[in-house]
């Protein structure tokens, strides 16, 4: 069964992914770009496109970095890391100092070591990065793979066009993808580039001149057996080479693939979404049908979506619930609701104990809030970007209130993880009135008190002029309600995420992979 894992990929790799079980791993980790990346939502009424932080690509020399660095101590005795990797990390610490770049490298190295462990002996690893740290990561990859019998295969340059007004340097129009294999025996399917520009096959041959230490000689490449025999006998050429007929040349190590433009059907609004054509090329080159593909930074799920389409098994890991919910939505819309039955989703809260663990893991409670809001709203709400100055609002959903799509009213969310009281209900009613919202949903971990329920009932209703039906102005929903399957039932809810492109209407095509 395919796997989608919500959690820290280092922990998931160490605890839940078996040794030598993966045929291909591709990762597109953060690049240490020192930027924040936002998920883009659909236009809502007359507002600009809403944006919510998807992930932060800024690294600090914090407790996590220090703890990770200590694992590479030469005296640590940690057998997971080779002596060469430990020596390299300690040498880089002397060059870079204990700062952002070293914190980034330590984090990536820990995960690369685990990826090496889970790869099959015939497995391949593609690491997607950019020139910010590619030179350091190449050294890390050499120390992990080549010191244990693995091999460096290619530095692939992904070229794309984008336009900018920057004038203080050459335009950055490429990413780097390193290809390593765990051993000398690996899967590689030859991919062909564009067809030959000259129509060699109609005339049956091509000629070129070869330079050597002894001068030059003429070489004839022939694609027709009978013609080859005739030309060899005539003695006109110094060398005649017969080749099987082919339609193109072997794929080079620079790939011209367009980035996803704003109008592309596959665009989902995720900030670092990669084109499916890029992942299709990688998966076709290094796997066969039924092989297992891993992406431990799976973002919006392009790797797993392409693996699904190409009939490969897959494992996806991401640390944000925003990504996990987007991937599930993408797969369901692309392949039908039944596909969810073929996915083992782990790490998502399924009982009160696991919800409590999610709350305790994050002091800011953001992941808990996002999980609660997006689960209850069926991915139709936009979570608030930051904790703190939220003005009492943790998320918004929208309903259409007229025939004009611009006339919409928000449904507000407030999420609580600790003690709740009737005063919080009164405060939230004030927020609903202040924002001129149609209604509000108060989500609470604790059970509401009778005064809270009474206050919510007395808040009244909102009459949607489009439907003529009243909506309770304030609804209280408990976490146990959500775990039991309760979901929003507001009429005329606006979709805030772009729908994924439909890939098949025949689910039978997807069945049977688990038996491979």
pLDDT digit string, tens, across residues 437-451:
999 999 999 999 999
Residue 32 dihedral angles phi and psi, to the nearest 5°: 60, 45
For 133, residues 6+ apart whose C-beta sits below 8 A from its C-beta are 31, 32, 101, 104, 105
415 Cβ contact partners less than 8 Å away, ≥ 6 residues apart: 365, 368, 369, 372, 373, 394, 395, 443, 444
Residue 364's pLDDT band (boundaries 50, 70, 90)?
confident
- What whole-number percentage of the chain has pLDDT above 90? 59
DSSP percent split of the chain into helix, strand, coil, nearest 5: 35, 25, 40
Nearest residue to 460 via CA among 437, 493, 492? 437
Whether the per-residue pLDDT at 224 is higher than 50: the answer is yes
Q: What is the pTM of this model?
A: 0.82
Paired residues of 400 in beta bridges: 408
pLDDT tier at 68 (50, 70, 90 boundaries)?
Answer: very high
CATH number belonging to domain 352-483: 3.40.1350.10
The answer to whether residue 396 scores a pLDDT higher than 60 is: yes
Helix (H, G, I), strand (E, B) or coil at 217: strand
Per-residue tokens: 152: 């460096």
Q: What are the residue boundaries of the structural domains of the chain, listed by start?
A: 2-163+173-191+252-346, 193-250, 352-483
Place of tokens 């079980």: 21
270: left (phi over 0), alpha (psi -120 to 50) or beta: beta
Residue 147 — very low, low, confident or very high, per pLDDT cuts 50/70/90? very high
Residue 506 has pLDDT above 60, yes or no: no
Query: Does pLDDT of 100 surpass 80?
Result: yes
Rounded mean pLDDT of the chain? Answer: 84
Q: Which carries the bigger pLDDT value, residue 383 or residue 416?
A: 416
- What per-residue confidence (pLDDT) applies to 52? 44
Q: Is residue 53 scored above 60 in pLDDT? A: no
H/E run at residue 64: helix 63-70
- pLDDT above 70 covers a percentage of the chain that reads 78
Per DSSP, what are the bridge partners of residue 209?
218
The stretch 20-33 carries a mean pLDDT of 88
Question: In the predicted model, is pLDDT for residue 54 greater than 70?
Answer: no
Decide if domain 2-163+173-191+252-346 falls under CATH 3.30.870.10: no
Q: Left if phi > 0, otherwise alpha if psi is -120 to 50, otherwise beta: which for 416?
A: beta
- Give the position of tokens 């025939």: 403
pLDDT number for residue 250: 74
- Whether the per-residue pLDDT at 37 is higher than 50: the answer is no
Same fold, 2-163+173-191+252-346 and 352-483: no
Token couple for 411 = 């449904």
Position with higher pLDDT, 58 vs 299: 299
Predicted pLDDT of residue 169: 79
Backbone dihedral angles phi then psi of residue 88, each to the nearest 5 degrees: -65, -45
Q: Which residue has the higher pLDDT, 167 or 162?
A: 162
| Higher pLDDT pick, 446 / 259 | 446
Cα–Cα dist 15/17, whole Å = 6
* pLDDT value of position 212: 53
Is the confidence at residue 57, as pLDDT, over 80? no
Residues 126-130 have a mean pLDDT of 94
Q: What is the pLDDT of residue 131?
A: 87
């Amino acid at each position: 069964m395919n796997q989608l894992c919500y959690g820290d990929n280092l922990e998931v790799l160490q605890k839940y992914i078996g040794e030598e079980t993966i045929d291909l791993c591709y990762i597109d980790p953060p690049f240490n770009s020192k930027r924040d990346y936002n998920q883009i939502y659909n236009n809502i009424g007359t507002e600009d496109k809403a944006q919510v932080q998807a992930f932060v690509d800024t690294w600090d020399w914090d407790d996590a970095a220090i703890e990770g660095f200590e694992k590479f101590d030469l005296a640590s005795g940690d057998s997971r890391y080779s002596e060469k990797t430990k020596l390299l990390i300690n040498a880089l610490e002397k060059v870079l100092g204990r700062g952002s770049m070293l914190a980034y490298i330590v984090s990536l190295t820990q995960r690369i070591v685990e990826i090496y462990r889970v790869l099959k002996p015939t497995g391949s690893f593609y690491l997607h990065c950019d020139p910010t740290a590619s030179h350091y990561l190449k050294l890390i990859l050499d120390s992990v793979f080549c010191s244990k019998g693995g091999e460096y295969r290619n530095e692939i340059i992904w070229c794309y066009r984008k336009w900018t007004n920057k004038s203080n340097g050459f335009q950055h129009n490429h990413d780097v993808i390193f290809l390593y294999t765990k051993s000398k025996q690996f899967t590689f399917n030859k991919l062909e580039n564009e067809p030959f520009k000259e129509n060699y096959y109609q005339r049956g041959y091509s000629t070129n001149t070869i330079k050597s230490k002894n001068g030059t000689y003429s070489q004839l490449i022939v694609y027709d057996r009978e013609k080859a025999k005739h030309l060899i006998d005539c003695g006109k050429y110094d060398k005649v080479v017969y080749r099987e007929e082919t339609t193109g040349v072997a794929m080079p190590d620079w790939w011209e693939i367009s980035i996803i433009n704003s109008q592309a059907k596959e665009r989902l609004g995720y900030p670092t979404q990669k084109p499916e054509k890029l992942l299709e090329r990688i998966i076709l080159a290094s796997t066969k049908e039924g092989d297992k593909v891993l992406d431990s930074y799976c973002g919006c799920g392009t790797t797993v979506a392409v693996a699904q389409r190409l009939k490969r098994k897959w494992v996806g890991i991401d640390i944000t619930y925003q990504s996990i919910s987007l991937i599930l939505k993408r797969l369901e819309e692309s392949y039908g609701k039944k596909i969810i039955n073929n996915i083992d989703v782990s790490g998502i809260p399924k009982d009160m104990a696991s919800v409590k663990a999610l709350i305790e893991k994050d002091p800011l409670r953001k992941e808990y809030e996002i999980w609660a809001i997006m689960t209850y709203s069926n991915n139709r709400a936009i979570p608030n970007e930051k904790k703190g100055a939220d003005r009492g609002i943790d998320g918004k959903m929208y309903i259409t209130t007229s025939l004009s799509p611009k006339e919409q009213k928000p449904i507000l969310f407030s999420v609580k993880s600790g003690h709740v009281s009737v005063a919080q209900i009164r405060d939230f009613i004030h927020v609903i009135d202040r924002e001129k919202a149609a209604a509000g949903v108060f989500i609470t971990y604790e059970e509401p008190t009778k005064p809270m329920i009474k206050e919510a009932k007395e808040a009244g209703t909102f009459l949607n002029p489009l439907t003529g039906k009243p909506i309770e102005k304030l609804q209280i929903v408990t976490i146990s309600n959500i775990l039991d399957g309760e979901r929003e039932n507001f009429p005329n809810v606006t979709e805030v995420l772009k729908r994924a492109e439909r890939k098949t209407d025949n689910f039978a095509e997807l069945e049977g992979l688990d038996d491979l």
